[in-house]
């Protein structure tokens, strides 16, 4: 399936890329892109040949954030445009990545502002070049960041840092993002960024896809639920194990 605002490409066995392709607009996320992200993620989830998705932006930037001009034009048109319904629609598009069975690696170069940061916050792993710039920019515009960045980052990072970034809308660099734990790695070039992402994908693909997918489910569940509930949820993922396959893998690992 072809899209106008995102592009899916095969990279290697089990790994594909999903690229934001509005470089003339700094990959600003418009209504069509939200729709196509959601459709692409659903299609990828149904593809058993895909384990890892590298999410990136075309050109010199990941994303400058929400395309407010596009949103304003929709509001101005008055064509049965309900703002609350649209907020839920945008949230669901990014949540689809967070809830996906696949592993998403955000590969960030250049600006990653506002909705761009919301988008990578929904990903499993985040890598960036040393020229990347980040911001929870919504506050400066007089609105609340409502697409997931506050919820996700306040659970995985120091809460005070997230408050500082959100209250000030300051632009921060890759070093600060790495030091805070937002980034897994920082690369010196876009070429290194993509190669590093592909290398990590290869490591992930070595393991059984279902085990990786279930592990993602457990980690996500644990971030938002109590310890005992999370332990029970983790245990239930193993109730449908194929005992013969498990024994074969165990014996194989002993030989290695």
Sign of CA pseudo-dihedral 6, 9, 11, 14 = positive
What does the pLDDT look like over 139-178, one tens digit per residue? 999 999 999 999 999 999 999 999 999 999 999 999 999 9
Distance CA 254, CA 117 (A): 42
Distance CA 111, CA 81 (A): 29
Distance CA 200, CA 212 (A): 13
**Average of per-residue pLDDT across 15-39:** 97
pLDDT at 111 exceeding the cut of 70: yes
pLDDT at 256 exceeding the cut of 60: no
What pLDDT shows up at residue 45? 97
- pLDDT top residue among 250 and 100: 100
pLDDT confidence bin for 70, thresholds 50/70/90: confident
pLDDT at 179 exceeding the cut of 70: yes
What does the pLDDT look like over 238-253, one tens digit per residue? 887 766 666 666 666 6
Average model confidence (pLDDT) for the chain? 93
pLDDT at 5 exceeding the cut of 60: yes
Domain edges within the chain:
6-205, 209-255
What pLDDT shows up at residue 73? 78
What pLDDT shows up at residue 69? 86
Assigned superfamily of 6-205: 2-enoyl-CoA Hydratase; Chain A, domain 1 (3.90.226.10)
**Average of per-residue pLDDT across 218-243:** 90
Least confident segment among 58-67, 68-77, 235-244, 245-254: 245-254
Q: Establish how many alpha carbons lie within 13 A of residue 102's alpha carbon, considering only the half-sphere containing its beta carbon.
A: 27
């Amino acid at each position: 399936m072809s899209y106008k605002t995102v592009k899916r490409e095969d990279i290697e066995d089990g790994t594909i890329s999903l690229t934001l392709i509005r470089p003339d607009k700094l990959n600003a996320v418009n209504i069509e892109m939200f729709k196509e992200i959601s459709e692409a993620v659903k299609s990828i989830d149904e593809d058993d040949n895909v384990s890892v998705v590298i999410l990136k932006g075309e050109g010199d930037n990941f994303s400058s954030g929400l395309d407010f001009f596009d949103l304003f034009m929709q509001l101005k048109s008055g064509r049965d445009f309900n703002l609350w319904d649209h907020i839920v629609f945008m949230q669901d598009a990014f949540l689809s990545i967070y809830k996906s069975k696949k592993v998403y690696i955000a590969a960030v170069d250049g600006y990653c502002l506002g909705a761009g940061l919301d988008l990578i916050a929904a990903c499993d792993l985040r890598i960036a070049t040393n020229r990347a710039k980040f911001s929870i920019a919504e506050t400066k515009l007089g609105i609340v960041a409502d697409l997931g960045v506050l919820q996700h980052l306040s659970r995985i990072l120091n809460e005070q840092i997230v408050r500082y970034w959100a209250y000030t809308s300051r632009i921060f660099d890759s070093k600060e993002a790495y030091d805070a734990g937002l980034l897994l790695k920082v690369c010196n070039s876009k070429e290194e960024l993509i190669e590093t992402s592909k290398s990590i994908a290869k490591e992930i693909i070595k393991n059984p896809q279902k085990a990786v997918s279930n592990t993602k489910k457990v980690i996500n569940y644990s971030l938002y639920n109590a310890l005992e509930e999370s332990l029970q949820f983790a245990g239930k993922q193993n109730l449908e194990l194929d005992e013969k396959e498990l024994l074969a893998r165990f014996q194989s690992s002993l030989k290695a």
